[in-house]
Amino acid sequence: MIDKNLREDGEKAAREVKLLLLGAGESGKSTIVKQMKIIHEDGYSEEECRQYRAVVYSNTIQSIMAIVKAMGNLQIDFADPSRADDARQLFALSCTAEEQGVLPEDLSSVIRRLWADHGVQACFSRSREYQLNDSAAYYLNDLERIAQSDYIPTQQDVLRTRVKTTGIVETHFTFKDLHFKMFDVGGQRSERKKWIHCFEGVTAIIFCVALSAYDLVLAEDEEMNRMHESMKLFDSICNNKWFTDTSIILFLNKKDLFEEKITHSPLTICFPEYTGANKYEEAAGYIQSKFEDLNKRKDTKEIYTHFTCATDTKNVQFVFDAVTDDLFEEKITHSPLTICFPEYTGANKYEEAAGYIQSKFEDLNKRKDTKEIYTHFTCATDTKNVQFVFDAVTDVIIKNNLKDCGLF
């Protein structure tokens, strides 16, 4: 009985994956966590979405206020002088609205007029010169829908919300028969001292970088470029002695914003030595190389890099599927196949090791001349994989039946 319990505990531990989400502030970590809920836990219920309504309102109000405040610093005038009265109204009404978690009609009308002003739009186009939420345009462009009295935030609205993470947020989910524990830790400098409590027993670190932050400065230190801060932090994590055996997965996030921005805001703002084109592929590849070059143990430690858009559910789902495969391959590297097959001399890589196991089973067939084994690699908890494999199995059965009838 004790042996059985120990074996069950061992099997459970083997299936547990502890992921630590790290990165500088506003790199998209919390959005990744929200995506895990959408992808692996059936998303947000209507009631949960309702609870985000006040956050959407606050993000919208704070965004337009940030733009209007910046107009003074950047010496940009309203295209329509009467918008100055709207600006005064905005600041007069916003405090009460945020406290009550509402967006009254008079305030939404003020915001709508301000957002339509060409001076405000000119200031918005220079948003790299001040602090502005990435989702500002998303909410302000959809103000008519958001301002409806019966408004309920959509899953995408929830994904776009920005609330500074303080402390540690833990999320649990199951995927590919693995039990994941994901820890989202605040990225601002003041939050980083709390990370140490999450270090023990970590399977992998997902380090998030905002690609689009290459021309921005930190909210907490306006002398420090955000990309440089991310590189400094990544260096300290990647080469830390505590993470010698920990997989490092690099998410180069906000690729959509980066692709839009790079054509008019040169990469030399962040990397003066860059001589390539200000095109997405080349510039993104350069940033990737800058981060991967920080790895001082290239001979023993691999960085698994993925370009992501944390607000795109399909992209995150695709990338996380690849990440899980990365972790499996890393696991087999640390737990060699020779444990089961001492005679195995191949590499401890997924394809070669899986192929060897396949051959071991197929070699057991003593009637190879008359009996064929149809092999498929499956993940029984992945509906799409099972559906795809079952389609293939069905085709095999149909072909065999046609052969038996002399029709194939």
Q: What Rg, from alpha-carbon coordinates, does the chain have?
A: 26
Q: Buried b vs exposed e over 333-345: b needs ≥16 C-beta within 10 Å?
A: eeeebeeeeeebe
Q: Is 184 a catalytic residue?
A: yes
Residue 164 marked in a binding site: yes
Catalytic residue among 62, 188, 305, 333: 188
Residue 108 marked in a binding site: no
Tally of CA atoms within 13 A in the half-sphere of 143 that contains its CB: 24
19/21 Cα distance (integer angstroms): 6
29/33 Cα distance (integer angstroms): 7
Residue 169 marked in a binding site: no
Residue 293 marked in a binding site: no
Give the pair of three-digit tokens for residue 349: 């890589």
Residue 317 marked in a binding site: no
Residue 160 marked in a binding site: yes
Residue 29 marked in a binding site: yes
Give the pair of three-digit tokens for residue 312: 């795109």
Q: Is 31 a catalytic residue?
A: yes
Residue 135 marked in a binding site: yes
Catalytic residue among 112, 126, 162, 189: 162
Catalytic residue among 86, 117, 184, 330: 184
Catalytic residue among 31, 203, 288, 308: 31
Q: Is 203 a catalytic residue?
A: no
Residue with tokens 């801060």: 229
Amino acid (1-letter code) at residue 97:
A
Residue 359 marked in a binding site: no
Residue 28 marked in a binding site: yes
Residue 396 marked in a binding site: no
Q: Is 105 a catalytic residue?
A: no
Residue 236 marked in a binding site: no
Q: Is 188 a catalytic residue?
A: yes
Residue 316 marked in a binding site: no
Which sequence positions are flagged as catalytic? 26, 31, 162, 184, 188
Q: Which residues are annotated as a binding site for Mg(2+)?
A: 30, 165
Q: Which residues are annotated as a binding site?
A: 26-31, 134-135, 159-165, 184-188, 253-256, 310
Q: Which residues are annotated as a binding site for GTP?
A: 26-31, 134-135, 159-165, 184-188, 253-256, 310
